[in-house]
Structure 1
Amino acid sequence: MNASTKEDAARPAFGAVLVDHMAVAAYGTGAWAPFEIRPTEAIPMHPGAHVLHYASSCFEGFKAYRGPDGQVNVFRMDRHIERLRQSARALALPVPGTEQLDQMIRALIDRTRRSVPDAPGALYLRPLLFGTMAAIGGAATPPTEALLIVIASPVWDYFEGGAKPLRIFVDDQHQRTAPHLGEVKAGANYAAAIGQTVIARQQHGADQVLFCPQGQVQETGAANFVLLRDRHLLTRSLDSTFLHGVTRDSLLTIARDEGYRVEERNFDVAEMLAWVSTGEAALAGTAAVLAGVGTLIHGEEEHRVGDGAVGPITQNLRSQLVDIQQGRVEDRFGWLTPV
């Protein structure tokens, strides 16, 4: 085992370790109270809390990076803040203000700045909003009390074992979530995908499930899906059925800037399988960044993606995105917020 492998093995699993403080704000009587920075610890929860019965919860996930000069920058913080606010509106939760979220995130990073790892690590930031109103008869009533918490975790690779070609099970029988809520980053959406992911892992050794209801390619349980070949990128066009990923948007922006033909449209499983015989496939998301797919499993048949390795186009686009995130090249799109 070489030094790099030993170092990777010593790192905690993605999200397993939290920093020692968190930012907390409570909503009640029609207003948000000032936030506090508190030690990271268990929070009291009434057994009748709205979130425990009716899943009134949404969250965000994004990263702060320490650049070569030591400066800590948050990647596309404004987009993630706005998406959390959109999710809150969709779930009829109290909507936190943009300035409030900005201040909470900055205050937490400042308090735990020493926990931001050097590259290739990052500090993963997780704002979490949920209904706390104690009323088990509130199935049709939005919560009038809520809690907003920002926690953080030093992270490295999302998939166990680091960068390797992924095995993806193609599920054309199930939907990841309710079609009108797919673009909401709700905890319930992720819960809905866990069962199918566990089955695919047990039966096929899959890392993730690509949901393709009625044979139309959509997204995996935790990331958007893209196809790549010969300066050509194909991904599903945005609609309400799946999450509008910030990493997806960043990837498409870089590809267009590099002269790629970028297509956003619906496509089916048959077209996808034909594409990957000579092309590439990848998952795009904050946690995974851009992770190459080596095998697609459809039914009982395995389809190798290209030569089965992480493809050169995937590697190139990932490197360009990571270089911007980690401050190694010019931030030509204005995506970094110094904190």
Structure 2
Amino acid sequence: MAAKPAASKKVAIPQLNWHQVRPAPVVLISGTEAFLADRALRLLRDGLRTVDPSLEVSDVDAASYAPGELLTLASPSLFAEPRLIRVSNVEKCSDAFLLEMLDYLGSPADDTVVALRHGGGVRGKKLLDAIRAGGGQAIEVVCADLKKDSDRYDFAVAEFKTAGRPITPGALRAIVGAFSDNLAELATACQQLIADSANEITETTVEKYYSGRVETNAFKVADAAIAGRHGEALGLLRHALATGADPVPMVAAFAAKLRTMAKVSGGHGSQGQLASQFGIAPWQVERAQRDLRGWTDEGLGRTIEMLAETDAQVKGAGRDPVYALERMVTAIARKGL
């Protein structure tokens, strides 16, 4: 899955895949796959903190940028801590940000990494062209959508290879097929199999885990909430968080179930026909049909809207990701009513 340049003009800076991200005065993280972009940003932050735990991390929204904000954050501090400035929404950047970032490329601050997240589109093209031409000692991390089955298969292979866990080709095909429509959900499923399967992971393992007999934290919480067991779901959620569960894949586990429920809810036909229509396994259709008992279309719709809000909040839009998760669990346990 080699990275491909995102611009028609000649690119003079290194073009890297998300897992190859490394520090540079300016790191452009481009492409429409938000999950890979988030991973690249976390890898960059964690790598910098490993080198110096005093790393100072700041966040800037390019869409609502205040003039002078970048220079203020990049200015040397009293104790000269290294700095990481994460800039979101560069594809929606204000004119003030565009002008100041172009100027910044000419003289980047010492001991500072400015990570620019551009999700696609023509806004900010002048800045992208300047960066790709070699301005500001930059690198580009390309996070394009993994549209091909082969790309998603390679992604899953890398997840298990990195963890040093054996998995059969059939199991890989099964897990990629089950979570083919969302990369975050695929990654969550891989990590849960890695964490909870002691032996080689086979097709039987995958079917067992994703046919409703899962013993992993995120899916146990989702199962309890969707079934309406509010107290149990909250207890499992708090235990999962207390033992180190990350809120982002926690939301992805709920998304995996609710999106399948939404597909099946609007479909007509036998389990086999629905499985073929939506590109999922028959056992997923059967489980979704069981999960839908007691739900209304309106409740399911409201819950999916809250799921999107919670996803944004746990990724930085909200101040308290735990509260956002608990609120989501409560809404799901009440079936969106």
Answer whether TM exceeds 0.5 for this pair: no
Q: Which has the higher contact order (CA 8 A, sep 6+)?
A: 1
More strand by percentage: 1
For the pair shown, which has the larger CA radius of gyration, 1 or 2? 2
More helix by percentage: 2
* Structure 2 length-normalised TM: 0.31
